Amino acid sequence: MKRFLLTLSLLGSLSLANAQAFEGIIEFTKTTGPVVTNYKYYVKGEHIRIEEISARGDVQGIMLVDTRDRTVTALSPDRKLYMDVPNMRLPKDVETEVKKTGEMKDMAGYKCEKWVVKSTKEDRVLTYWVANDEFTFFVPLLETLNRKDEQAVFFLEIKDAKGVFPMLGVENKLDGAEVSKLEVTKITKGVQKPALFEIPAGYNKFERN
- Cβ atoms of residues 151 and 141 within 8 Å: no
> In the structure, what pLDDT confidence band is assigned to residue 1 with cuts at 50, 70 and 90?
low
| Residue 95 φ then ψ, to 5° | -95, 120
What number is the average pLDDT over the span 2-14?
Answer: 46
pLDDT at 61 > cutoff 90: yes
User: pTM value?
Assistant: 0.87
- How many CA atoms, within 13 angstroms, populate the side-chain half-sphere of residue 200? 14
pLDDT recorded at residue 209? 62
Domain-by-domain residue ranges, the chain?
Answer: 22-197
- The CATH code of domain 22-197 reads 2.50.20.10
**Other CB atoms within 10 A of residue 69 CB:** 9
Amino acid at 72: V
The percent of residues above 70 in pLDDT, for the chain, comes to: 90
pLDDT recorded at residue 3? 53
